Amino acid sequence: MTKRKLGPFEIEPVGLGCMSLSHTYGPPPSDEDGAKLLNRALDLGYDFFDTASIYGVGHNETLIGQALKGRRDEFVLASKCGLRVGNDEARATRILDGSPAGIAEVLDLSLTRLGVDHIDLYYLHRLDPKTPIEESVGALADAVKAGKIRSIGLSEVSAATLRRAAAVHPIAAVQTEYSLWTRNPEIAVLDACRELGTTFVAFSPVARGFLADGVGDASALTKGDFRRHMPRFNPPHLEANLKLLAAFKAIATELGVTPGQLSLAWLLNRDDRLVTIPGTGSIPHLEENFGARDIVLAPEVMARLDALINRHTVSGPRYAPAMQASIDTEDFAD
């Protein structure tokens, strides 16, 4: 499979989402093991790494900066701003801050942690309802002019927001969850990306590990695993979705590929312009994911997968109501 365009860059269609090296899906690997995985990724040919200031509250960027020092010219680096952790007296909270001052502050911190003088692709992690998107993108455009970032991205935004942003500055990429079981981008964002020449970046392309057969039952999710708070991973939805997974795994076996590879291949064969960023803390899974680049699926196989797992057959919403309210992406329920 040939490389794909992302802003001014040409990259492999399978990149690396680095979030799980710091938090979210249970205990992360040690920094030593995380560094080994990052370097193995470069050795395999990965050339696109995705991180964010909020991942591990800065830990993820620091890990990448230290682990890949001296190899900066081997990959396209993406990070994100606009979402940070605050603290009230009871618990940690997520704060949306897309203000120009907030963006400038977080960007400088990210550059320091990463140990670089510029970031190739810098996303607004979430839309801040208190700040017009035009102001947020204007601040990012100023960072482009200053040489601190090379291109601008948006994460979890609607087609309408993307169009407003693109009127201020070209948007190189939009990042949103997309897989067989999360089809929200098909409502409008994919069409808007094609219209504007914006690359679509699919995060959680193996359904947060579900389509890679990484979730046996709800009890397998450890304390601190973000999926414990997601409806699809809890009763009664999980039991219904596991029935879909059994049929999906049977198709993967028939084709001689792993379930994770089949999930990635469905995306890569569906749209020859999008890019995927599966995450993992496992080197064998890292190697497995990269192999999906070479899998060609026949039209009849694509049709079988579409019929098996889609928004009508998957049980449960993508997010609980509170989390859904914090994103700008279109939802089928609307």
Number of alpha helices (DSSP H) and beta strands (DSSP E) in the chain: 11, 12
Report the candidate in 136, 67, 146, 148 with the shortest Cα–Cα distance to residue 107: 148
Report the candidate in 120, 131, 188 with the shortest Cα–Cα distance to residue 157: 188
Question: Residue 315: CA atoms inside 13 Å, Cβ hemisphere, count?
Answer: 13
Residues 6 or more apart whose CB falls under 8 angstroms from that of 69 comprise: 115
Instruction: Examine the residue annotation and report whether 319 is marked as an active-site residue of this protein.
Output: no
Note whether 125 and 81 are within 8 A (CB). Answer: yes
> Would you call 296 helix, strand, or coil by DSSP?
coil
Note whether 128 and 155 are within 8 A (CB). Answer: no
Instruction: Write out the H or E segment, with its range, that includes residue 102.
Output: helix 100-114
Note whether 107 and 122 are within 8 A (CB). Answer: yes
> Which listed residue (25, 46, 55, 122) is catalytic?
55
Catalytic residues: 55
